[in-house]
Structure 1
Amino acid sequence: MALIWGAMPAYALAPPAQAIQLVSAGAAVTDEAAEAAPAVEESEDILITARRRDERLQDVPIAISAVSGDTLQTQHIDRIADFAAKLPNFSAVQQNTRVSGLYVRGLGGNANNDGAESGVGLIVDNVFFTHVGFSWLDFVDLDHIELVRGPQGTLLGKNTTIGALVVTTKRPSFTPELNLEAGYANYGRYQIRANATGPVIGDTLAYRVTFYQDKSNGWARNKYDGQKYLDINRWAVRGQLLFDSGPVTSRLIAEHYETSEFNNYYPNFADATTFVNGTARAGSWDTKMRTLFGYAPDYTVGKNADLNTQQRIDSRVNGISNELNIKLGGHTLTAVTAWRQLRFRPKNDSDQSPFSILRAGFDVDVDQYSQELRLASPTGGTVDYQVGGYFLREDLISNNRSIFQSDATRWFLPGVLPSAILDGVEYDQVGKLQVTSGAAFGQATVHLNERASVTGGVRFTRETKKASNTAITFGGAPLPAVLAGARTAILTAFGGLFTPVADKRTTDSWSWLINPSYKISDDVLLYASVSYGEKSGAANLSASGDKPVIIDPEKSTDYEIGLKTTLGRATLNANLYWNDIRDYQAVQLDPTRVSLGNFLGNAARVRLRGIEVEGEVKLGAGFSASLSGSYNDATYRSYKNAPVPVEYSYANGPRSLDLSGKRVVGSAKWSGQASIAYDAPVSDRFNLNGYVNQTYRSATNLLNPYSAYGAQEGYGLTNAGIGIRTADDRYSLLFWGRNVLDKRYAVGIGQATAVNPFIKVLGDPRTFGATVKGRF
């Protein structure tokens, strides 16, 4: 699944006009400097750190976009999924903590398997996060975000094949400051954000404390008990200490995030009651609901929740990290040490009905430990370089729980049999994964002259994965022998008590980059790059029998050529890309071993090619405008053994589908946005500000296996706001709206099975509210 919106460049709407806006983890602008910076009419510069140095965005010869934290906050871009309104060719699906994913150019995610990594990396305050569940969080108190497109790995943590999202939060300041923000919106939603910073010991030790809470009543009412689903109920707290003395700085971060929400409501919208050959699908969810329970399903999307055992999904994340920087003459030694923990507990009503049939879902526990060391040379000479090492340890448990309830016997077994056959029985498949990864890397830039440079990088990674899967069952009443066989038959259909499977594999991989660039003039940069990266081999934590437990790495070779221009008040950037991906990790069916069923494998070859364009201009009189867009041809070059959708699963029907030549699931061919913003004084004390942002995404198919039921038509979303702030930006009031035309759309679609019909993961409806902020 993927959701891709076009976006404008980050720098278009940053409220404070500054000659240079520094959005860097390595160096922060002081409050005094920010207030003293003169207003300018030329396009603002942004400094980024995607190459682990402070560099002007327009001087970095790679395909990268950035957004300031001020812009994100001003326009109520609260979640990673919302970033898609600002970052070209980027999307994020956040169905729930476990089924989340980041996507660049239509690819990413983790194949809905806890043992598979995303093709798009997430790096927060210089720490690489392994599991997609960490992207579920709301990152608050942001300094800036960056999106780097193309394979990463030379410098940015662990290898990725598609790109990386780099998130940087605000650092502690030695200037005392208190920021308070409160907002109220429809659906009874309220938000509270607060952060305080200042010195602890003179100019040596500073602190920063951040608190965040977001709650709403939800907008989809459950017929069964009146509970409102798709609510918001989350909070977070972060504490930081910054030590700065002579050549040594150290930044310690400790944080806790917690959510407890009804975000697992996925409305029914259709079921396949007949196969495509015209024969009846007797075992369809719709048919059985009508014949077994006399229940007529409602397919009115967003208004048809009727669930009797749904409960909140709980998730918790804890983390501690420390970044140590030591100046060694002109060199800088950096050490980043981190621990991260995720706990996820779903409580789903998996039968999508007011009957007690089945609760299924994955309990997930992740602990990751990482250590990175980097040595960076001084800049300004003929050659500058960085070298370093990286270590990662991840321990993961993914427990796929199926809990049978009082109506399960009636649903799964023919005839009139006692409910005790299945009631209270639990069948689990406990997948375990241990990852130990180490890497050495280096990257250098040779400045051939004042205009021409060549950057090259290489990274060697050795990774060991140890994975296993074990089936267990327990619970339920004791049964006489005549009935025990019926219980066993159903458990066998769910996977059975197979002999535990396990595998261990060590792989070596290389990543590399060649990146020449040439400044045609001071304001025009031409660049090209060829890069290669690998995504680690996935562990199939649901494997059984002869299914592969660990599969091969995914390999990506990317070619880019781009142009960055600055013309006074305007900037215009464009790049062409061609990305070939081999051994693409996807679900497949082996036609020579049909009895294995569907499994995760190296199933396909994929090609991405297209163009991305970003431009913005300051129009004067307080107005700025931007326009961006992308054309993305994401195609399966070879995918011959894709699983068949349910409507093709009739007797003697095709065992697999050949998707070669078709568009990648979830990838939109066209996406783009247009924005206009206003910020100008209306008196010597107040400024009036506002913005309108229109996005567009062309039609795509969101369902895998590929199915006609997965079609999502093209759509656009409109966001807008108007407000007033004091000239010194200490106080502000903003009235805002998101999806103001109330477009109803899906960001994901789920396959029909023997227990549920086709379901949709809905995008947010129209939301509007007011936010007041104060800086003291």
Structure 2
Amino acid sequence: MSLASLLVGISASVPVQEAFAQAPAAAAQQAAAPSQGDGGPLSAQIQDVQVLGAEAAAQKLQEQVLIKTPRSGTVVTDKVIEEQQIETVTDISRRVPGYRPNLVQPRQSRMTIRGAGIAAASAGTGSPSDTGYIVDNVYWSFAGFQWGEFVDLSSVEVLYGPTGTAGTKNTNVGSIIMHTQLPSFVPKTTLRTSYSNYNHIRQTINSTGPLIDDALAYRLAFYLDKGDGWIRDARSGTTYLDTNRLGVHFQLFGVGDGWSDRLSLTYNGSNEQNGYLTAAIGDTSLVYANGTRPAQTYFQRVQQRLGKPIWTIDPNTPYRAAMNRNPTHVGMASNELNVAVGDYIFTSITAGGFGSFKNYASQDDQLLNIGSDDMDTFGWQVSQEFRLSSPKEQELEWTVGTFTYWEFLQDRMHHSTFGYDAPKWYNDPAAIPGNISWWLNKAGDIQQAAFGQATWHATEQFDLTFGLRDSWDLRYSSNKFRPTYNYYVPVSIAEQDRALAYHASYGWSDSGGATKGHNAVIGIINPKYQVNENVQIYALIGRGDKQPAVNTQNTPNYRRDSKTLSVTPLGWKPAFNKAETSWDYEIGAKTNWFDGALISNVNLYWNDLYDFQIGQSQVQTLADGATITVAYLGNAPHVRLRGVEFVEQWRPFDGLTFNLSGAYTEARFVSYAEAPTPEDWAFSGGPATMSLSNTRINQLPKWQINGGYSYERSIGNVFAGVGDWGNQPITAFTYLNASWFDKSQLTHPRSIVQYWQPDYVMLDAGLGLKTSDNKYSLTLWGKNLFDNRPWRSISLGSSTSPTNVGISTQGPRTFGVTSSITF
């Protein structure tokens, strides 16, 4: 057996949620075929690792996940990615039910599967999601490393359930996994150009070939993406949520006698006005639960204190005093070495990355200049994984290894800068324009883990997979607040510090450094029974354990006196929250009929999460008996996720494929007695906390159902004589994908007045022509053809803010044309 065949065996024999952690690049991306020679088990000839292209590898992975692997999961292949213009994780979410990218901006985006994650509003640098993000076997934790676009994907895989017993970093509910194309020893270069509305142009180049015959190959993928935003400022004419990105991915792939090595270098950069995330839709509409209203509405306060007009309540036509671009730079490097040691495979995966994320986006609406709320974030990550895997096609197959991980994240926040309207707005002459409440936050994580997983082929029909992982994490946290003052004004430094602490949240203070250790034990039991060649049933019991998060809301507490505008320091919020434990129970069936032409998968799950990490409130009692309420990143005692996922695929004949998939998600607080109160209960004398026990988690649709088709048919040499390309037979193709999102509750479940985002459909479609050799193609396409722009959130406002909504991150209706040339 060749090395390549051994590698394929690894990826084909373990549960799919762990396969990404074991399958080396050569197997996972090239689906290598057995050697045609007699090289024996150490043979690693070129024909072993470069037989099938990326498309065939993706189809093989899809077949593995949908038919063979005893776990819930799905795969989006490179053919779908290329032909249907899938460029971001938002596009992926329209093909994968239950996956929500929550893409807002690099610092706070948190992907979720089955509704489990951390809300963006409370997601700081030290709070990773329950959902893992994997690129070519490397786990990337911080949201900023997930920023960018797709340019050379072989496939996208979404896997459900706790992971970690076969490698990488542990996650509690699943992972989204990106497989990029492996360098090829067959020279090929593809140029793709897209034009669409909003002056949008996207250019990609993907080139591969040998550097040293039969020994070293390269791949270089590059993209440049520029376009106007779809929200235009009525005063300045600039557009928000624009596109201004570029990226490059360079790889080297070497093979020799019994080894392969893959080096990957990636850069993603952007410089966009992507901070327009909330917008006013009206004056303060808040009515407290006791029937009272705020003493003054936002519009009244603007008129009374500033004497300025209200310019807009149209979220698509803002009037902003200032908006700046948010430069982002991300660099990632990884190296995967696979060596045959007898019949075993030794794997070493080394990775590191750096990111710089500068957010200058938050400025006042209505041409006011009260203050900004900006930040700079810097992140570093390094990981090292070693694995040893047994031969495949044995009665007992196993993988063991170690994982070492280091992460350091730093915020340098401009929280907050007083604008020139601040003294009048706050009725406080000490709110000096230009004064800044600087927040210097640090968060770190060191993990050392050992893991092992085995599959026992008890009979020809029954397999049992079991795995165990032990991880030790050491978390670090520190917070400093270092305001800047103005020394040339007739206001003392003490008064300026007091004004910053009262109005801009924080004055001069220092929490010092804090650490917290945690030992996590993760395990899975995953039996599979092959009823016959068409039907497989499986079950899963899994225990996940997520380390404590750094509470980046670990800020000073103050008691504020509204009459004197004075502040009294009251210590600090907790530096860390508790670890989160997951118990997951699943049962499912996978069936395929007519040689795989009809596939039907159904999975039922019940997932209990204890000490679920979430933003919350806490009441603190002072020495004099008074109480204050503080907000921070804490824990809900018990959250339950349960639901059903299904994937259906039918190919009635070659060229036509129908797809239907869906997810029902019941995410509920089982026990959460001291949850934050809704805004309409925040009246004087009202409750500081409120029970959310036995309520559904809001801002999450119960149902998402995707359906569509793809169809292609040869129409012959219809362009014969036009040119060399016209002499090729032409294939016409068309596709349609509709994703229906059920209505979702935007307000707190205990609010007196409820607001719901109605259900909506995101419809993508296209048609095109391509030559039979795939060297030339032309596609006309459209995304979000119904132009649905769902709100993400709603706030009823207060005396200091209007009624506002979270702007859609799905994007507007777009339509365009894409051409592709391969030579």
TM-score of the superposed pair, with normalisation by structure 1:
0.91
Structure 2 counterparts to residues 148-547 of structure 1, below 5 A:
148-266=159-277, 267-276=279-288, 277-282=290-295, 284-297=297-310, 300-401=313-414, 402-413=416-427, 417=429, 421-480=431-490, 485=495, 488-493=498-503, 494-543=505-554, 544=556, 545-547=571-573
The farther-off stretch of 644-653 and 296-305 is: 296-305
Contact 1:313 1:346 in 2 (8 A): yes
Q: Is the deviation greater in 590-599 or in 186-195?
A: 590-599
After superposition, what is the alpha-carbon deviation per residue over 1:404-459, rounded to whole angstroms, capped at 9, x for unaligned? 12111111225xx4xx7421101022111121111000000000111100000000
2:674 to 625, 635, 641: 641
After TM superposition, the structure 1 = structure 2 runs for residues 43-54 of structure 1, keeping only pairs within 5 Å, are 46-47=60-61
The amino acid of 1:775's aligned partner reads T
Q: 1:109 to 1:464 in 2, by over 3 A?
A: same
Q: Write the deviation string for residues 327-382 of structure 1: whole angstroms up to 9, x where unpaired.
A: 11211111110111111111123322312211113321110000001111111010
Q: Which residue of 2 aligns with 1:134?
A: 145
CA displacement at 1:638 relative to structure 2: 1.4
* One-letter identity of the residue aligned with 2:814: T
Give the 3-state SS of the residue equivalent to 1:378 in structure 2: coil
Q: CA deviation at 1:390?
A: 0.2
**For 2:807, what is the secondary structure of its paired residue?**
strand
1:554 and 2:554 aligned: no
Does residue 24 (structure 1) correspond to residue 24 (structure 2)? The answer is: no
SS of 1:514's equivalent in the other structure is strand
CA distance 1:264–1:727, change in 2 (3 Å):
same
Residues 726/481 of structure 1: CA separation in 2 closer, same or farther (3 Å cut): closer
Comparing 613-622 with 522-531, greater Cα deviation is found at: 613-622
Output one character per residue of 1:475-507: Cα deviation in whole Å (capped at 9) or x when no partner: 434343579526513424412323424321111
1:105 alignment partner AA: R
Residues 751 and 109 of structure 1, relative CA distance in 2, 3 Å threshold = farther
Pick aligned residue for 1:657 from 676, 681, 690: 690
* Conserved? CA contact 1:421–1:477, under 8 Å: no
- 2:788 paired residue among 743, 752, 768: 743
Work out the CA distance in 1 between the residues paired with 2:147 and 2:750: 26
AA in 2 matched with 1:405:
G
Q: Give the Cα separation in 2 of the matches to 1:189 and 1:764.
A: 13
Alignment partner of 1:66 out of 75, 92, 95: 75
Match of 1:680 among 713, 719, 743: 713
What secondary structure is seen at the aligned counterpart in 1 of 2:374? strand
Cα 1:37/1:199, change in 2 over 3 Å: closer
Q: CA-to-partner distance for each residue in 1:132-183, whole Å, 9 max, x for gaps?
A: 2222221320011111111112124212111111111111100000011001
Partner of residue 622, structure 1: 655
1:389 counterpart SS class:
strand
Match for 1:108: what amino acid? G
Query: Secondary structure in 1 aligned to 2:696?
Result: coil
SS in 2 for 1:134: helix
Q: Is the 8 A contact 1:351 1:756 kept in 2?
A: no
Q: Does 2:593 correspond to 1:567?
A: yes
| 1:760 corresponds to | 806
Query: Match of 2:675, SS?
Result: coil
Deviation larger for 364-373 or 492-501: 492-501
Do the aligned residues in 2 keep the contact of 1:298 with 1:304 (CA within 8 Å)? Answer: no
TM superposition shift of 1:33: 5.4
Moved more, 386-395 or 98-107: 98-107
Tell me by how many angstroms 1:310 deviates: 0.7
Question: CA offset at residue 588 of structure 1?
Answer: 2.0
Assess, with a 3 A threshold, how the Cα gap between structure 1 residues 283 and 375 changes in structure 2: closer, same or farther.
farther
Q: Once superposed, which parts of structure 1, at least 4 consecutive aligned residues long, lie more than 6 Å away? A: 29-32, 35-38
- Amino acid aligned to 1:607: R
CA contact (8 A) 2:785 2:813 kept: yes
Deviating more after overlay: 298-307 vs 563-572: 298-307
Letter in 2 for 1:125: D
CA change 1:261–1:706 in 2 (3 A) is farther
Q: Secondary structure at the match of 2:692?
A: coil
Asked whether the equivalents of residues 311 and 366 of structure 2 are also in contact (C-alpha less than 8 Å), the reply is no
Conserved 8 A contact 1:308-1:353: yes
TM-superposed deviation, 1:769: 0.2
Question: SS state of the match for residue 782, structure 2?
Answer: strand
State the AA in 1 paired with 2:29: A
Residues 329, 357 of structure 2: 8 Å contact kept: yes
Does 2:777 match 1:732? yes
CA distance in 1, matches of 2:283, 2:673: 26
1:474 to 1:306, Cα distance in 2 relative to 1, 3 A: same
- Say whether the 8 Å CA contact 2:698–2:744 is kept in structure 1: yes
Distance 1:485 1:585, change over 3 A: same
Matched residue type, 1:583: D
Task: Please give the alpha-carbon distance, in whole angstroms, between the structure 2 residues aligned to 1:677 and 1:91.
Answer: 24
Q: Percent of aligned positions with the same letter in both sequences? A: 31
Q: How far apart in 2 are the matches of 1:473 and 1:231? A: 33
- Greater relative contact order, per chain length (Cα 8 Å cut-off, separation 6+): 1
Cα distance in 1, alignment partners of residues 653 and 577 from structure 2: 56
Q: Structure 2 vs 1, CA of residues 32 and 770 (structure 1 numbering), >3 Å: closer, same or farther?
A: farther
Contact residue 686 and residue 727 of structure 1 kept, 8 A: yes
- How far apart in 1 are the matches of 2:190 and 2:54? 20
Q: Partners in 2 of 1:98 and 1:221 — Cα distance?
A: 24
Measured against aligned partners, the alpha-carbon deviations of 1:122-141 in whole angstroms (never above 9, x if no partner) come to: 01111101112222221320
Equivalent AA in structure 2 for residue 725 of structure 1: K
Q: Which whole-Å CA distance do the structure 2 matches of 1:428 and 1:604 have between them? A: 33
User: Which residue identity lines up with residue 421 of structure 2 in the other structure?
Assistant: D
Q: Identify unmatched segments of 5+ residues in structure 2.
A: 1-25, 34-46, 557-570, 622-626, 718-728
Q: Answer with 677-686 or 345-354: which moved more.
A: 345-354
Letter in 1 for 2:600: L
Q: Is 2:98 aligned against 1:89?
A: yes
Residue 4 of structure 1 corresponds to which residue in structure 2? none
What is the RMSD computed on CA atoms of the aligned residues?
2.4
TM-score, length-scaled by structure 2: 0.86
Residue number in structure 1 paired with 2:6: none
Cα deviation for residue 746 of structure 1 reads: 2.2
Q: What residue in structure 1 maps to residue 15 of structure 2?
A: none
Q: Does 1:146 align with 2:193?
A: no
Secondary structure at the aligned position of 2:475 is classed as strand
Contact 1:399–1:431 under 8 Å retained in 2: yes
Q: Secondary structure of 2:207's partner? A: strand
Q: 1:605 to 1:200 in 2, by over 3 A?
A: same
In the aligned structure 2, how far is the partner of 1:333 from the partner of 1:744? 49
- The equivalent of 1:583 in structure 2 is 611
- Deviation, structure 1 residue 37: 11
Q: What is the CA-CA distance between 1:706 and the residue it aligns to?
A: 7.1
In the alignment, the residues of structure 2 paired with residue 210 and residue 706 of structure 1 have an alpha-carbon distance, to the nearest angstrom, of: 50
- Cα distance, 1:35 vs. partner? 8.6
Taking the aligned partners of 1:33 and 1:437, their CA distance within structure 2 comes to 38
